[in-house]
């Protein structure tokens, strides 16, 4: 049978002629390197199809070959100017230029472990370069009589390499013997040989070659015999290679096609023609199914078949998988329980892997019998049933697909195989039971409690024992997954999401026994739609009993469907495939493309509990909860919160942060405050207490919304929320709290809040000090001039002097023009109202206690005093101002001015006259 290789185009980048392509092996760098006939190098991101980097190498002379050297993060290129050039792959900085050959350089081969690079040329030589010796040429190999077109290292013996030449020969050489003569030659091509490649298979000492005689030849280099000649191309063969994982040989030709041959049967599997003119180069990315093609008109990356691992897991924990033709197995039951308990979600399970042997067919599917003692391998149009213990052949036959019947679906061991013609044969106890060909084209078959046959428009379910049609359903599934009991089945589709159906076995049996008429649609009562996942593309999945279905979606989420509700278990960082679920371990097991087994915790008791809660069967949920380990209680609490059972979640959770969120959600502020207090008390001595400030603020904000001012004040105080305390102090006219806010704000250097609080307190001197501390000296001087002029005229005050010194560092002339209020020569002319202003300040200071005692409730009676022009009133009548402001006693304003006998400095410029504008003093109430 032809290999089922669904070919997917991943990148198509149009460009000038591409002479060579190469993949970067790192999974983090999805790069393909194109060497251009125009003399440039292009690096493409084949996931985004974007041109990542480009560099001019030898334009207009062609670059015929370029390779990544990932160990050194280099690119090496050989061109028609006969030089090798080495570049940094990240910066594209040229590291080295090597005068390598006397003619065009045709190919470069990089050693996988040693610091060696081979180059071959039209000068008929091969040269070995050592980059650890500053790219010295350590050997030159001569022996070909024409252009040397390609060299390749032998992956099974990295001291050996082979070369292909237009002299129609393939020569094999060594690098350790000291000899530069070939070990032997392979001849058989009738014209020049353009390309060669060693087989990566350990048990096949093969080499493949392609030449101008339009043939591909497969050689055994141990017997030195040509094993096979593959014909079909209509022009010169330019590139040929063995795929590193698939059993295929790829050949590219100047006829524009890439042909894929089976590596065992040598049958032509398919021919690819993308109409991009001549194909010059082919490269494969190890570990994947990706292939790069270099054409006259651009670079293309394709994927051959699926990268999903060929693997099967039995419910008992036995895993069997295929790596090429090799079969390997492992048993999860043999993993130590302590190791499993300590594994975190997403971690790799340490397995003891056993090599079982190899199969004659290339496995494309593997599936376990329900009892776990047998498994079947299907591939190459054949199926073989093996024993699970020793890989002994139990049965075999022809067929492109093989499926088992579920345990209990029918009496006996049933399985079915589909032939390429569409005929389906059902076997019972390894003997053919029946065979039929459905009246429609068959695309795929699925096993389980019923035999499912898929076509391009619908699926049909057949009974195993009678082969009767049970039901036709108009969906096209990519997977059909039955629950353990057979009561539910998931139909996962490519575009329409997934459907969960209930299978009514009893009604079907009764209808068949009663002689029900089965038409082309089958029995309508057989299936009932239960749930639907309309926006999910299920890549793989398994049932955990009948309560839940675990699956991985196309966006790499591991999800669990419980009674119609979807819960995300984890987001995976790479593509994973669900293997199965083991209830005794409480884990879901998955496998990645590298055949690593990954585990995720999923308690069966938790599944049953969540299912009961969704069904609102709370009595059953309470019984299941007792079996759930305490380590999962927080997960249960989050599930309950998502279902709207917040009070129950609060009682279950042990996570303080979660409990706080739930308490706030319920409005239980007293409990929320206690929780934050406990979190703060648990902090070790010397720990940063600010980590809980946001939690105190949460509780305080909620308390403020509910009008609990005392609790809000406590929370804001604990959380050092100065802004919140400021709001409460203003709203409640709490002078002592406002004083606390001013002090806290100054400590935290929250200058604006500190200034506002001091201003509301009537602490003018404190406001000046805050402005000075915040390095706002001009504002401090002007504020002092308005509200506390004594700070300017007092001999012990350095406020004005500090401002002048600060301004001198910026502008000396401007600083010298400032007028000092303590200087007598300026006092009468520039500060004529200073005496009355000082008197007002003194009087106000004497009445501070009276002002502070005025309650906020008297605002309406006292608000007119806010509009009093203190300077104007003081200049007319101090006594009248005192009476208006409610001040008693008398003051001698003139006595407040200091006597300054000093004259201004001779270097001090006379300041320009300043008009003293009236100042309105705001009366500050508590």
pLDDT in tens, 203-228: 889 999 999 999 999 999 999 999 99
Nearest-5° Cα angle at 291, 262 to 595: 80
CA-closest candidate to residue 251, choices 285, 206, 260, 265: 260
- Establish how many alpha carbons lie within 13 A of residue 578's alpha carbon, considering only the half-sphere containing its beta carbon: 29
| 421, 438 contact by CB (below 8 A) | no
Domain co-membership, 362 together with 441: yes
Same-domain status, 659 and 523: no
Tell me the backbone φ, ψ of residue 177, rounded to 5 degrees: -75, -15
Indicate whether 832 and 684 sit together in one domain.
no
Based on the domain organization, do 354 and 496 belong to the same domain?
yes
In a domain, 144, yes or no: no
CB atoms within 10 A of CB 569: 18
CA distance 211 to 219: 14
Q: Are 701 and 808 found together in one domain?
A: no
**524 part of a folded domain:** yes
DSSP secondary structure of 716-764: HHHTT-HHHHHHHHHHHT-HHHHHHHHHHHHHTT-HHHHHHHHHHHT-H
Domain boundary among 521, 536, 551: 536
H or E stretch covering 14: strand 7-14
SS3 575: coil
Whole-number Å distance between alpha carbons of 639 and 150: 62
Residue 92 lies in a domain: no
**Domain boundary residue, one of 502, 536, 570:** 536
Whether 710 maps to a domain, the answer reads yes
Q: Are residues 368 and 454 in the same domain?
A: yes
Are 345 and 460 contained in the same domain? yes
Q: How high is the pLDDT of residue 828?
A: 65
Distance CA 752, CA 757 (A): 9
According to DSSP, residue 775 is labeled: T
Tell me the Ramachandran region of residue 104: left when phi exceeds 0, alpha when psi lies from -120 to 50, beta otherwise.
beta
Q: In the numeric block, which tokens belong to residue 533?
A: 């996942």
Is 585 within 8 Å of 591 (Cβ atoms)?
no
Structure tokens at 79: 């061109």
Judge if 348 and 455 occupy the same domain: yes
The secondary structure of the chain in percent helix, strand, coil, rounded to multiples of 5, reads 25, 35, 40
DSSP label of 563:
T
Residue 776 lies in a domain: no
User: CA–CA separation, 67 vs 89, rounded Å?
Assistant: 10
Q: What is the DSSP letter of 866?
A: G
DSSP code at position 92:
-
CA distance 20 to 378: 37
733: in domain: no
CB atoms within 10 A of CB 367: 19
Phi/psi for 562 (5° steps) reads -125, 115
Nearest to 698 by CA among 681, 684, 679: 679
Q: How many CB atoms lie within 10 A of CB 45?
A: 16
pLDDT given at position 873: 64
Residue 105 lies in a domain: no
As given in the structure block, the two tokens for residue 884 are 């208006």
Report pLDDT for 57. Answer: 96
User: Which DSSP symbol is given to 281?
Assistant: E
**CA 748 to chain centroid:** 40
Q: How far apart are CA 57 and CA 37, in angstroms?
A: 11
Residues 816 and 671 in one domain: no
In degrees, to the nearest 5, what angle opens at C-alpha 401 toward C-alphas 317 and 270?
120
pLDDT reported for residue 903: 40
Helix ranges (H only) for 541-686 are 604-614, 618-625, 633-642, 646-652, 656-666, 669-681
Q: Is residue 140 classed exposed, middle or buried when 0-12, 13-18 and 19+ CB atoms within 10 A define those classes?
A: exposed
Structural domain boundaries enclosing 830:
784-896
Does 818 lie in the same domain as 715? no
Task: Select from 444, 622, 461 the least CA-distant residue to 527.
Answer: 461
The answer to whether the CB of 619 falls within 8 A of the CB of 626 is no
- In the chain, the number of structural domains is 3
Give the bridge partners for 326, in sequence order: 323, 358
Phi/psi for 473 (5° steps) reads -125, 130
Q: Give the chain's end-to-end CA distance (angstroms, integer).
A: 95
* CA–CA gap between residue 644 and residue 652 (Å, rounded): 14
Backbone angles phi, psi at 112, to 5 degrees: -75, -25
Please indicate, yes or no, whether residues 667 and 812 belong to a single structural domain of this protein.
Answer: no
Helix (H) or strand (E) holding 790: helix 790-793
Residue 473 sits in a domain whose CATH number is 2.130.10.10
pLDDT lower than 70: segments of the chain: 1-2, 686-689, 824-829, 832, 843-854, 856, 863, 865-926
What is the DSSP-derived secondary structure letter of residue 643? Answer: T
How many Å separate Cα 849 from the centre of its chain? 65
Specify whether the CB–CB gap between 195 and 238 falls below 8 A: yes
> Which residue, 536, 561, 582, sits at the end of a domain?
536
**Cβ(501)–Cβ(534) under 8 Å?**
no
Both tokens of 512, joined, read 């068949």
**CA dist., res. 284 & res. 271, Å (int):** 17
* CA neighbor of 15 nearest in space, from 294, 238, 301: 294
Q: Residue 695 and residue 715: Cα distance in Å, rounded?
A: 9
Residue 342 domain flag: yes
Same domain membership, residue 810 and residue 712: no
């Amino acid at each position: 049978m032809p290999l089922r290789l669904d070919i997917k185009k991943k990148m198509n980048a149009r460009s000038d002629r591409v002479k060579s392509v190469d993949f970067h092996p790192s999974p983090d760098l999805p790069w393909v390197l194109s060497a251009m006939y125009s003399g440039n190098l292009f690096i493409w991101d084949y996931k985004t199809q974007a041109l990542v980097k480009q560099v001019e190498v030898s334009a207009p002379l062609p670059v015929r070959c370029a390779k990544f050297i990932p160990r050194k993060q280099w690119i090496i290129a050989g061109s028609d100017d006969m030089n090798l050039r080495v570049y940094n792959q990240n910066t594209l900085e040229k590291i080295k230029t090597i005068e390598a050959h006397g003619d065009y350089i045709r190919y470069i081969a990089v050693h996988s472990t040693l610091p060696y690079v081979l180059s071959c040329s039209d000068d008929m030589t091969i040269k070995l370069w050592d980059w650890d010796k500053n790219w010295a040429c350590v050997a030159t190999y001569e022996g070909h009589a024409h252009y040397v077109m390609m060299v390749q290292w032998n992956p099974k013996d990295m001291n050996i390499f082979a070369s292909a030449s237009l002299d129609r020969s393939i020569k094999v050489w060594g690098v350790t013997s000291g000899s530069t003569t070939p070990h032997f030659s392979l001849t058989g091509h009738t014209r020049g040989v353009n390309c060669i490649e060693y087989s990566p298979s350990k048990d096949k000492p093969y080499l493949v070659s392609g030449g101008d005689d339009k043939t591909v030849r497969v050689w055994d280099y141990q017997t030195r015999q040509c094993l096979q000649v593959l014909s079909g191309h209509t022009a010169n063969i330019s590139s040929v290679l063995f795929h590193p994982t698939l059993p295929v040989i790829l050949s590219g030709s100047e006829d524009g096609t890439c042909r894929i041959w089976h590596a065992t049967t040598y049958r032509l599997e398919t021919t690819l023609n993308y109409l991009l003119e001549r194909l010059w180069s082919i490269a494969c990315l190890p570990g994947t199914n990706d292939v790069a093609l270099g054409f006259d008109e651009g670079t293309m990356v394709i994927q051959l078949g699926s990268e999903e691992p060929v693997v099967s897991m039995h419910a008992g924990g036995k895993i069997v998988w295929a790596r090429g033709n090799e079969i390997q197995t492992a048993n999860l039951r043999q993993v130590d329980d302590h190791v499993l308990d300590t594994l975190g979600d997403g971690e790799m399970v340490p397995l003891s892997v056993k090599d079982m042997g190899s199969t004659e067919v290339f496995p494309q599917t593997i599936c376990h019998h329900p009892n776990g003692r047998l498994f079947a391998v299907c591939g190459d149009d054949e199926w073989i049933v093996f024993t699970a213990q020793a890989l002994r052949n139990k049965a075999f036959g022809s067929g492109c697909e093989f499926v088992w019947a579920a345990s209990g679906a029918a009496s006996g061991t049933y399985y079915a195989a589909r032939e390429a013609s569409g005929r389906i044969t059902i076997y019972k106890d390894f003997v053919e039971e029946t065979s039929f060909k459905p009246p429609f084209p068959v695309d795929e078959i699925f096993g389980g409690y019923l035999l499912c046959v898929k076509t391009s428009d619908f699926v049909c379910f057949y009974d195993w024992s009678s082969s009767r049609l049970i039901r036709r359903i108009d969906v096209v599934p990519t997977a059909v997954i039955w629950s353990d009991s057979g009561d539910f089945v998931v139909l996962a589709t490519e575009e329409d999401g997934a459907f969960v159906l209930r299978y009514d076995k009893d009604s079907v049996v009764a209808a068949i026994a009663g002689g029900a008429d089965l038409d082309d649609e089958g029995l309508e009562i057989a299936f009932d739609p239960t749930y639907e996942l309309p926006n999910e593309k299920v890549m793989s999945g398994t049932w955990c009993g009948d309560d839940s279905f675990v699956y991985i979606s196309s966006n790499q989420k591991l999800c669990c469907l419980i009674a119609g509700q979807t819960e995300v278990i984890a987001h995976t960082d790479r593509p994973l495939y669900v293997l199965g679920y083991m209830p005794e371990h409480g884990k879901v097991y998955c496998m990645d493309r590298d055949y690593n087994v990954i585990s995720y915790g999923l308690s069966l008791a938790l599944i049953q509990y969540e299912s009961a809660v969704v069904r609102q069967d709370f009595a059953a949920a309470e019984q299941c909860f007792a079996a759930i380990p305490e380590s999962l209680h927080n997960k249960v609490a989050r599930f309950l919160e998502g279902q709207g059972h917040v009070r129950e979640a609060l009682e279950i959770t042990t996570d303080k942060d979660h409990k706080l969120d739930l308490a706030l959600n319920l409005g239980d502020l007293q409990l929320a405050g206690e929780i934050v207090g406990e979190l703060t008390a648990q902090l070790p001595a010397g720990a940063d207490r600010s980590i809980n400030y946001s939690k105190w603020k949460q509780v305080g904000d909620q308390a403020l919304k509910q009008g609990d001012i005392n609790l809000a004040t406590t929370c804001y105080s604990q959380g050092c929320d100065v802004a919140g305390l400021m709001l409460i102090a203003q709203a409640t006219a709490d002078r002592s709290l406002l004083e606390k806010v001013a002090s806290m704000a100054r400590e935290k250097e929250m200058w604006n809040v500190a200034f506002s609080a001091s201003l509301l307190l009537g602490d003018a001197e404190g406001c000046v000090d805050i402005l000075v501390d915040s390095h706002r000296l001009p504002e401090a001087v002007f504020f002092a001039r308005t509200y506390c002029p004594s700070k300017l005229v007092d001999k012990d005050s350095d406020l004005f002097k500090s401002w002048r010194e600060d301004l001198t560092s910026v502008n000396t002339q401007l600083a010298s023009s400032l007028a000092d209020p303590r200087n007598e020569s300026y006092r009468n002319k520039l500060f004529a109202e200073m005496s009355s202003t000082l008197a007002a300040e003194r009087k106000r200071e004497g009445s501070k206690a009276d002002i502070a005692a005025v309650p906020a409730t008297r605002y309406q009676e006292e608000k007119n005093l806010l509009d009093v022009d203190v300077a104007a009133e003081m200049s007319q009548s101090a006594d009248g101002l005192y009476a208006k402001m409610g001040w008693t006693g008398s003051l001698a304003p003139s006595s407040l001015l200091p006597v300054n006998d000093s004259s201004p400095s001779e270097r001090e410029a006379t300041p320009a006259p300043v008009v003293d504008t009236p100042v309105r003093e705001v009366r500050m109430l508590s």
